Amino acid sequence: MWRALALLLFVPALHAQTASPSQLRSGATRAVAMVQHGSTGFYKAMVCFSCHNHGLPMLTFRMARERGIPLDEAAAAQVAAKGLMTMPDFTSIDRAVQDPMIVDPAPSDGWALIAAHAAGVKPNLVTEVYARRVANWQRADGHWPTGDDRPPQSYSNITATAVAIRALQLHMPAQLRNETEARVARAKTWLLAAHPQDTEEFTFRLLGLHFAGATSEDQSHAAQDLLALQRPDGGWTELPHVQPDAYSTGEALVALHVAGGVPTTDPAWQKGLRYLLSTQDKAGMWHVHTRQVSPASVSPPYIETGVPYGHDQFISTDATCWAAMALMLALPKAATPSTPRPIPVLAPQGPKPWMETALFGTAAELKAQLHSGLDPNSQTPEGTSLLMMAAQDADKVKMLIERGANVRAQAKSGYTALMVATTYLGTSESVKLLLEHGAEVNPGKGVLNNASPLFLAAMAGDRENIALLLAKGADPKHRMDIIGMFPTSPLIEAVGFGDPEVVRALLAGGADVHEKDVDSMTPLHWAVVGHRAEVAKVLIAAGADVNAVDRFGYTPLLYAATIDFGDADTAAALLQAGADPNAKDKQGKTALSQAREFPYLRAALEKGGAK
């Protein structure tokens, strides 16, 4: 079916010359070298796992090994080690259980787990803990949310869901196989009903359905939908009103072949390949323009990684990864593929039998170990307790408390069992038990990154836990330093994840709709930055100032006109609530001048009185 569609759309391509193996190998070799160069430069400057300089590069390196493309294995191992021992930290059971660097489990930890697999890291107790947390964050309808707001590569729940599915399949513990299968089945149902809006979402819906084992018919239909977006020049676009680029074209080609069954010899696929070859620069990269042009702090501070294109370098690195993988897919597999170097530092040290039982065993198995002399206050050298490891399971928590486990015990990081429990959804019974036995809702100073149970519950989106903590006096204005860099309140964090009901729960519990962060941005500013139109409406109904000005001189409407998500939903909500359509930033720019390249936004602004 997809082939018939390709023939109808691209008849002229039937007679076009296919790319030669020498062209493909040359392009892929130069691209992989540039990705390695940029990834090495990134890890020297930034302590952080990133999709653009760790996740996709590790997948690219894996394919390079399979296709015989030269790779500096020592550098690849260094990049893998650096990326996977920071955020998240795959070397430490303590960091895995506590997750003090938690930021956005589905896309962040999910990509890290996929990257670890590509780098040759085998599933182990640490990766299994991260995978279970990712699994737990699945919503009732089957999707995984993201709190990120960086299109195209990191903003979509469809992308987050596809990534989470694959991460679970690679790293969930065998004891939870039934749970894994059930979660994947729910995710597949959600993906089948989803309505993708751009190439990124069409790509990851196809990949997600493939990972989830959808029928060949369903995968074929998803492939047809993606194929239909191809432009006459062979490329794909991020959004309908912009020009094709290598990011969208590369990811579409990879998904069409790997998940959609489209052969690399297909005329439409070859046309996309020729688009990539014609747009690669001399150094080996592809230049894609960033959509992150607002001053909002949506990423760590800018750094140079040694590759070209300045602020465009990160999305351009992503694009180069996708494009390189597309080129390599058209090459034959190597007769003797190389293998990644072992990375000893990523092997967790000192796991004990009681840890696995506490984390993944049954309550009966834990009871047997306690009867055999296991101390209910057992802990690691870093202070992660047996109770913390069991915190997700109310039966285990009850058993340990009855045997004298200290509910107020703190690890060296300051984390407690209550804090671990609140990083998960559906743990209200555990949270009740811990609170009833004296767990501290406001842990005070000395906690790594200033974390608190309420902040973690707000991030997880568990309204029951939020209500329990607020009833015990949890401070709704206490700010956690996300990845040690961004002081953020529970309300602003909940806004980022886009659940209106969680936002309502926090507002009802005393969160301040008018609060300002270190950049004087309000929750409404952040709702607009993340394109959370429904959350914006909740905040407006609660009295949020639609004309509040941050330290950059931006009102919420100015942000709505700066970040291109492909529609005008948030701008329309702001204008309807009385936002000034002619407000100016510190450079004198109005929303209309900011939105000059976005036709749908221009129309909404002009309708709202912008001049």
pLDDT tens by residue, 156-170:
999 999 999 999 999
Q: Percentage of the chain surpassing pLDDT 90?
A: 83
Mean pLDDT to the nearest integer, 337-359: 88
pLDDT band at 147 (very low <50, low <70, confident <90, very high): very high
Q: Is the pLDDT of residue 100 over 60?
A: yes
pLDDT tens by residue, 311-341:
999 999 999 999 999 999 999 999 999 999 9
Residues 6+ positions from 150 with CB-CB distance below 8 Å: 291, 292, 298, 299
Query: pLDDT: is 342 or 7 the higher one?
Result: 342
Q: Which residues pair with 385 in a beta bridge?
A: 379
Residues 6+ positions from 496 with CB-CB distance below 8 Å: 147, 148, 149, 526, 530, 532
**pLDDT score for 590:** 93
Lowest-confidence region among 162-171, 351-360, 421-430: 351-360
Q: From start to end of 458-593, where are the E strands?
A: 480-482, 486-488
Provide, for the chain, the percentages of residues in helix, strand and coil under a 3-state DSSP scheme, each rounded to the nearest 5: 55, 5, 45
Q: Is the pLDDT of residue 72 over 90?
A: yes
Residues 6+ positions from 421 with CB-CB distance below 8 Å: 391, 392, 397, 427, 430, 431, 434, 453, 465
pLDDT band at 595 (very low <50, low <70, confident <90, very high): confident
Q: Do residues 223 and 206 touch, judged by C-beta distance below 8 A?
A: yes
User: What is the CB neighbour count within 10 angstroms for residue 341?
Assistant: 15
**pLDDT score for 52:** 60
**pLDDT score for 46:** 78
pLDDT tens by residue, 520-554:
999 999 999 999 999 999 999 999 999 999 999 99
pLDDT tens by residue, 120-139:
999 999 999 999 999 999 99
pLDDT tens by residue, 472-512:
999 999 999 998 888 999 999 999 999 999 999 999 999 99
The whole-chain average pLDDT of the chain stands at 93
For 4, the enclosing helix (H) or strand (E) is helix 2-9
DSSP 54: I
pLDDT band at 250 (very low <50, low <70, confident <90, very high): very high
DSSP 228: T
DSSP assignments along 22-48, one per residue: HHHHHHHHHHHHHHHHHHHHHHHH--S
Q: Is the pLDDT of residue 602 over 50?
A: yes
Q: Is the pLDDT of residue 77 over 50?
A: yes
pLDDT tens by residue, 263-289:
999 999 999 999 999 999 999 999 999
User: What is the CB neighbour count within 10 angstroms for residue 263?
Assistant: 11
Among candidate residues 478, 488, 543, the one with its CA nearest the CA of residue 521: 488
Residue 507 identity: L
* Domain architecture of the chain: domains with CATH: 2-297+307-336 (1.50.10.20), 357-495 (1.25.40.20), 513-611 (1.25.40.20)
Query: In the chain, how long is the greatest CA-to-CA distance?
Result: 77
Phi/psi region, residue 566 (left: phi>0; alpha: psi -120 to 50; beta: rest), is: left
Helix (H), strand (E), coil (C) string for 234-274: CCEECCCCCCEEHHHHHHHHHHHHHCCCCCCCCHHHHHHHH
pLDDT tens by residue, 506-520:
999 999 999 999 999
Q: Is the pLDDT of residue 30 over 60?
A: yes
pLDDT band at 7 (very low <50, low <70, confident <90, very high): very low
